[in-house]
Structure 1
Amino acid sequence: MFFIFGLRTRVDRSGVVQQMCRNCGNHAAQVISRRSTKFTLFFIPLIPVRTRYVQQCSFCGAQYDIAKAEARRLPVG
């Protein structure tokens, strides 16, 4: 008997906000996304392993992790 297992990451875009970038300092669109990684067994996602919230600058492309509270606080438009 054999088992097929692994990890799968799903990226959900939460929205876009206009903010000053921490990296380049330009006022540009910042894409907020949620990345959730789950343990899979036979290609069926079962157990959530990790959830991260990421903010990415559309001008310079830099991305950095943000807290869940900060991701929910941002006025998404």
Structure 2
Amino acid sequence: MDSGFRLYSSMVLLFGNKNYGDHLGFIVTRCPNCRSDQVFAVHQERRKLTVYFVPTIQYRVKQYMTCTRCVTRYEIAEELKTEIAERLMTKDQLDKVLGELSGGTPLTTPSCLVCSSSLNAGMKYCPQCGTRLI
């Protein structure tokens, strides 16, 4: 005897996406906005599909360079990524180069290690990305 009612089991699928940021290093090159040679922070943003809050598939990767003077951000073209990667410097290498250029006194500007935004003395958290500062 069929009453016409059928019970179906349903399942909830939770999915979304999440951005991840990686600081790659620094490069010195000409800024189109400042019209002078400046230090740029180079970083990469990756977007991943998440299933039940677990990152599963990476579906977009973009690299950007941000001028540390005017804070203008430029996307790095695919054909320039190899050239930029060859010229990347760590913070220590950058301080050494800037110190040599300034006559032995290293020029250091405090910046966030995650997003490279400028910091003021006494800050406990980065105002841009919220990372706790050491």
TM-score of the pair, normalised by structure 1: 0.87
1:7-26 correspondence to structure 2 within 5 Å: 7-26=17-36
Deviation at 1:69, TM superposition (A): 3.9
Higher strand share: 1
Where does the alignment leave 5 or more consecutive residues of structure 2 unmatched?
A: 1-10, 90-134
Give the ranges of 4+ consecutive aligned residues of structure 1 lying more than 6 Å apart after TM superposition.
Answer: none
Deviation at 1:64, TM superposition (A): 1.3
Using CA pairs under 8 Å that are at least 6 residues apart, name the structure with larger relative contact order, 1 or 2: 1
Residue number in structure 1 paired with 2:58 = 48
Higher helix share: 2
Percent sequence identity over matched residues? 25
Where does the alignment leave 5 or more consecutive residues of structure 1 unmatched?
A: none
Deviation at 1:73, TM superposition (A): 1.2
The answer (yes or no) to whether the contact 1:26–1:59 under 8 Å persists in 2 is: no
RMSD over equivalenced CA pairs, Å = 1.3
Radius of gyration: which is bigger? 2
